[in-house]
Amino acid sequence: MKQPKKTSKKGQIESIGLVLIVIIIVLALVFTIPFLINNPDIQSLNQEYLQFKADSTISTLLSTNIEDCQSAQVTFKKELENCLLENQPVCFTSCQELNNKLQSLLDYSLPTQDYQLLMDSKPIIQKAKATQKECPNKLFSTTHFIAGNSKLAIAVCA
Amino acid sequence: MPKMKISKKAQAQNLETIIVILIVTIIIAIGIAIFYNLQSNSLDNLKQLYRQNQAINLLSTLPLTPELQYTEFGYDKSSIDAIKLLTPLKLKSNMKIEVQQLYPEKPKATCSKSNYPECSTYIIYDGQPKSLKNQEIISTPALLYHPIEKQYSFAILIITTYY
């Protein structure tokens, strides 16, 4: 009669030990998992910053006056319209030269990002791997209308 | 003899208990160390987030402040007045705020009342502490208006946060 009682007590103590180990593991997981999951706040802030940068880049670029131009107060927006409608800019010798200048300014503004300057959803200026396949997460700036209804925007690879 | 046997068994059980307590203590100590590290990293991330948030807020609101904004007869022209940049801002922060004109290109010099407009860098505020070495730079394009030439220029507003 005495022998089974002893075994049962020992078994109970061992089960309590097992329960304690399980509780410790669960507590460790509860405290650790939140830290191991990537903090989404920083990612969303970076995306907001990129969006803001893309918006200010396009609006600043279009309002900038072109230097040493015979016609006064010609902006990049006006010059893009000239290229779109007549294929001949007023201040630059060719549309290619205008695009090169735009690209250098975009490179200054978005030095580490891949981007596309889109006219009616078609890229007119592009940097590196900003294609749909290589850049699944694209951020688009606000759309500006030039020459009536042509849409101009910047897509940045986030 | 039986007494000695019991004593030896008790000693072994005591030793077992001591070993178990030691192992549990070590596990708890390792757990606390890991938790402390994770907590510390999380706080660092939070601090970085706060710094970035503060700098981005400043980046978006600074060009709209009356101290810098170009207005014509009270109307907002969504640009920074270059003349206003020649007067430093009065702030209290571990930051450096500058505007760099990129287009049209100007001589690489810090702007002052004596060399304006033949300069490219306007330092609006410089609060770099000597003790802090780490820095975080964020920037955005900004439209710069030159009232004398009546020209809009392409510039970059740069905020450097020291920590």
pLDDT score for B25 = 92
Token pair in block for residue B74: 């009270």
pLDDT of residue A12: 83
pLDDT number for residue A55: 94
- C-alpha torsion A106→A82→A78→A119, nearest 10: -50
- In the prediction, which pLDDT does B84 show? 93
Residue of A nearest to B31 (CA): A28
- A-interface mutation test, from B24, B64, B140, B151, most A Cβ less than 10 A away: B140
Which candidate from A41, A53, A63 shows the least CB-CB separation from B49? A41
Consecutive 10-residue runs of chain A (158 residues): their mean pLDDT? 60 85 86 73 83 93 88 88 90 91 92 90 80 76 90 91
The pLDDT value given to residue A1: 47
* B152 closest CB neighbour out of A42, A53, A63: A63
Cβ burial of B54 (10 Å; 0-12, 13-18, 19+) is middle
Q: Give the three-class secondary structure for A135.
A: coil
Q: What pLDDT digit, counting tens, does each position of B23-48 carry?
A: 989 988 998 898 898 888 888 888 88
Is residue B120 very low, low, confident or very high in pLDDT (cuts 50, 70, 90)? very high
Predicted complex: ipTM over 0.85: no
pLDDT for residue B2 is more than 60 = no
pLDDT of residue B141: 94
Whole-number pLDDT of residue B48: 86
Q: What is the mean pLDDT of chain B?
A: 89
Quick one: pLDDT at residue A7?
61
pLDDT at A113: 87
Q: pTM of the prediction?
A: 0.80
Measured from the Cβ of residue A99, the count of other Cβ atoms closer than 10 Å reads 17
Digit-coded pLDDT (tens) for B90-110: 888 889 999 999 989 999 999
Whether pLDDT at B89 is above 70: yes
Rounded Cα–Cα distance for residues A131 and A82 (Å): 27
- Contact yes or no for A28 and B153 at CB 8 A: no
Cβ of A64 and B153 within 8 Å? yes
Residue B6 is predicted with a pLDDT of 65
All residues of chain A having their beta carbon less than 8 Å from the beta carbon of residue B156 are: 108-109
Burial class (CB in 10 A: 0-12, 13-18, 19+), B68: buried
Which one of B27, B52, B152 has the shortest CB-CB distance to A64? B152
Q: How many domains does chain B have?
A: 1
CB contact under 8 A, A64 and B154: yes
Domain that holds residue B131: 1-163
